[in-house]
Amino acid sequence: MKIDLLISLLAEKWKSGDRSCVSLLSKNKLNGEKKAMSIVDEQVSETLQSERVTAAPEQSTNQEKGSAGVALLRITLGFIILATWWSNVTSDPNFYSAEGLRGFFDWVFLSAEEGGNGASFTAIGSLFDSIDDAGLLGAVGFAQTVMEFLIGVGLLFGIGTRFFSALATAFFAGLFLTYFGGEEWIGTYILLIAASITTFLSWGGRTFGVDRAIAAVRGDSPGKLIW
């Protein structure tokens, strides 16, 4: 509305022979251009500031992922799992076979008086019997061999740490239930479960691990559940 009024006034002055409107128009045009440039500069500044504010928390979050302490915990877990796996494979090549697992579980649930562990959580024994009756014990043993090896390597080198630390948590929880109520001190597995959960929650592979390099190139994994 103000612009229309100004144009009307300038037109009347032009018709009446007053040429001062030209300088006035030029002045207003120049002021308008300056104002427009000022608005653009303000918008650019606001955009850059917004990008800096948005990027700062993300950068800070990435820096907070992982630590030297958690990396040491992860490496220790990986070493324990690999060392145990290697000991099982070399001391008894048939340990992960159907026959080897059957002998292991027989010992686990055999009473302490008869030289066994004397575990009391019978649900694990029933699950084992069901698998054995279905003829799947050999396949389970092979899967167990591969799984333990991959978990150990993943944790030792910090590759897919979140995924493998979650598997390690489930693995140690299974051992806790298997040995529960027997002669084996299950406190060991409580500590290992806690260490695995800590590694998962603290992004254990982001320090001294391959996951750090992967995340730098590809960002977080889908669902943040792998690295």
Tell me the pLDDT tens digit for each residue of 9-44: 545 654 566 555 445 444 444 454 444 445 434 554
pLDDT at 213: 95
pLDDT > 90: percent of the chain = 70
**Chain position carrying tokens 């850059």:** 48
Rounding to the nearest 10 degrees, give the CA dihedral for residues 19, 20, 21, 27.
140
CA dist 197 and 165 (Å) reads: 7
Query: pLDDT (tens digit, 9 = 90+) per residue, 91-130?
Result: 999 999 999 999 999 999 999 999 999 999 989 989 999 9
189 or 35, which is more confident? 189
- What is the C-alpha end-to-end distance of the chain, expressed in Å? 61
Which tens digit of pLDDT belongs to each residue from 160-172?
Answer: 999 999 999 999 9
Of 16-30, 117-131, 185-199, 200-214, which gets the smallest average pLDDT?
16-30
The SS3 assignment for 221 reads coil
| Contact predicate 226/159, CB 8 Å | no
**Which range (47-61, 87-101, 183-197, 205-219) has the least confidence?**
47-61
- Does 16 or 190 have the greater pLDDT score? 190
Q: What pLDDT is stored for residue 53 in this prediction?
A: 47
Instruction: Give counts: helices (H), strands (E), the chain.
Output: 9, 0
